[in-house]
Amino acid sequence: MRILVLGSGGREHALVWKLMQSPLVETLFAAPGNCGMEADGARLVPIDVQALDDIVRFARKEKIDLVVPGPELPLTLGVTDALRAAGIPSFGPDAYCARLEGSKSYAKAMMRKAGVPTAASSVVHSLQEGLAALDSMDCKGERVVVKADGLAAGKGVIVARSRKEAEEALAAMFSQRSFGSAGDTVVLEELLTGEEVSLLAFCDGHNAWPLPSAQDHKAAFDGDLGPNTGGMGAYSPCPRLVGDDVEHVADRTIRPIIRTLAEEGHPFVGILYAGLMLTESGPKVLEYNVRFGDPECQPLLMRLTSDLAEAMIACIEGKAPLLTLSEKVALGVVLAKEGYPGHYERGSRICGLDELAQIPEIKVFHSGTKKVGSDIVSDGGRILCVTGLGETLANARDLVYQALRGLSCEGSFFRKDIGAKGIRD
Ligand code: AMP
Ligand code: GLY
């Protein structure tokens, strides 16, 4: 098989690494990819993930058998539709289904239609409408979450713990237009409390096969402090969601959406990711993503012992994928550049990667890295994710933090408490 992976982050490096282990895979291209993927055998192609025409042209020319889009943007732009029109299979939903991630108001409407438990919410289109909606909430706007409707790289969500913060968030979206057109429509949502868990499922258009749970760490700093990022570390499984509960939660939060989309004539093929809050009154969906999470993908794929390419093809053909996972626990910690998720410098040399490559239970997935001569330097806010497999969560954590001691990159930082919530139990 000839495969094309779209994207250049740690998630896509993990996809490349796992796909390369499949005996079905003959040649693997990554567009635009990164130097970590290249070292694992991918051939890099300088095509942007948004350049749909170029992607289709390349896939045709290279007789690609399967395209695996990593990030949400090409999916919301319709890469699967464009590929399908050219007769090329893609492991990802069409643009219709990708609106689940591309529009938060659409996702809320779908949750209502499918009967999925979620926070009470209202949709507003102006500051005035927003202020009136705050007045009509039970909490009078004292504990709300203000969400820009469109894609905002994980930054368009403001958790407001007072009426003043809620008003400021509405002003940022409508008056200052901090999120551009993504903030033309805003979802106001009741603030939920509990622990957050990610549940990802392989979907064949009509059914869903959940992977074990994972837990992300979205805030930049220890103790969940600081601004929200794309994710600073993750582990799997999360002890809050294991055993039969995984299937029960998938029955309530993932399968109803898959059924509803199929009834609407748009079977969802790919990964559906439910971001959940485990509240006192049960799990509630905070958001849907229509792809693997980054960094959840890295620990999840480290646990996957079955063939990833085969599972993706099975879903595309409407068959049950074979998914087997190691009983071990995987944990990944992201090394980021100081300043991230705001402004940061590029070009710091990363030392110690060769030594880490010798540790069998550790894999370093690259995100923002670049090869300059014989050096590998930082080239993004999230630089890489050191991921390890251990007998227990504490083992995995100790392995990864020990490995991180062997890495150096000037002006970088990482959270010291990844996995702490799971070990506290
Ligand atoms: P989202 O992109 O909708 O998942 O929101 C990003 C983050 O904001 C989530 O991971 C939560 O930490 C937080 N968040 C979103 N919605 C809520 C909510 N209704 N209550 C509490 N926190 C929330
Ligand atoms: N780690 C969260 C996300 O991928 O959206």
- Tens-place pLDDT, residues 283-310: 999 999 999 999 999 999 999 999 999 9
What is the number of the ligand 1 atom nearest to the C-alpha of 189? 19
What per-residue confidence (pLDDT) applies to 154? Answer: 67
Q: Is the Cβ–Cβ distance between 190 and 140 less than 8 Å?
A: no
Kindly report the number of other CB atoms within 10 A of residue 354's CB atom.
Answer: 9
Q: What is 65-131 written as a DSSP string?
A: SEEEE-SHHHHHHTHHHHHHHTT--BSS--HHHHHHHH-HHHHHHHHHHHT--B--EEEESSHHHHH
- CA-nearest residue, atom 6 of ligand 1: 157
**CA separation for the pair 301, 353 (Å, rounded):** 20
Q: Which H/E stretch holds residue 348?
A: none
Read off the pLDDT of residues 222-233 as tens digits, 9 standing for 90 and up.
999 998 899 999
Residue 332 CA to ligand 2 centre (angstroms): 13
Could you report the per-residue pLDDT of 359-375, keeping only the tens digit for each? 999 999 999 999 999 99
> If you average pLDDT over residues 229-244, what whole number do you get?
96
Residues composing the chain: 425
- What integer is the mean pLDDT of 94-117? 97
C-alpha closest to that of 296 among 193, 393, 170, 199: 199
Mean pLDDT of 257-278: 98
Pocket of ligand 2 (CB under 6 A): 154, 216, 230-231, 289, 293-294, 296
- Ligand 1: centre distance to CA 215 (Å): 14
Give pLDDT, residue 345: 95
Give which of 47, 58, 98 is closest to 76, Cα–Cα: 98
Q: What is the mean pLDDT of residues 397-417?
A: 98
Rounded to the nearest whole angstrom, what is the distance from the C-alpha of residue 188 to the centroid of ligand 2? 21
Positive or negative: CA dihedral 422, 231, 163, 140: negative
Q: What is the mean pLDDT of residues 61-75?
A: 98
Q: Which one-letter DSSP state was computed for residue 8?
A: -
DSSP string, 160-224: ESSHHHHHHHHHHHHTS-TTGGGGSSEEEEEPP-SEEEEEEEEEEES-EEEPPPBEE--EEEGGG
What is the DSSP secondary structure assignment for residue 304, as one 8-state letter? B
Per-residue confidence band for 279, with pLDDT thresholds at 50, 70 and 90: very high
Is the model's pLDDT at 425 over the cut of 60? Answer: no
Q: Which burial class, exposed, middle or buried, applies to 265 when counting CB atoms under 10 A from its CB (0-12, 13-18, 19+)?
A: exposed
Q: What percent of the chain has pLDDT over 90?
A: 91
Q: What are phi and psi of 399, to 5 degrees?
A: -60, -45
For the CA of 216, the closest atom of ligand 1 is 10
Ligand 1 pocket residues where CB is under 6 Å: 119, 145, 147, 157, 159, 189, 191-192, 196, 218, 228, 275, 286-287
The confidence band for 137, taking pLDDT boundaries of 50, 70 and 90, is confident
Q: How confident is the model at residue 177 (pLDDT cuts 50, 70, 90)?
A: confident
Ligand 1 atom closest to Cα of residue 192:
20
Amino acid at 245: D
For the segment 195-207, what is each residue's pLDDT rounded down to a tens digit?
999 999 999 999 9
- pLDDT given for residue 171 in this prediction: 92
Find the 178 Cα to ligand 1 centroid distance in Å: 18
Q: Is the pLDDT of residue 155 over 80?
A: no
Predicted confidence at residue 139, as pLDDT, reads 81
Pull the structure tokens for residue 390: 């251990």
Other C-beta atoms closer than 10 Å to the C-beta of 405 total 8
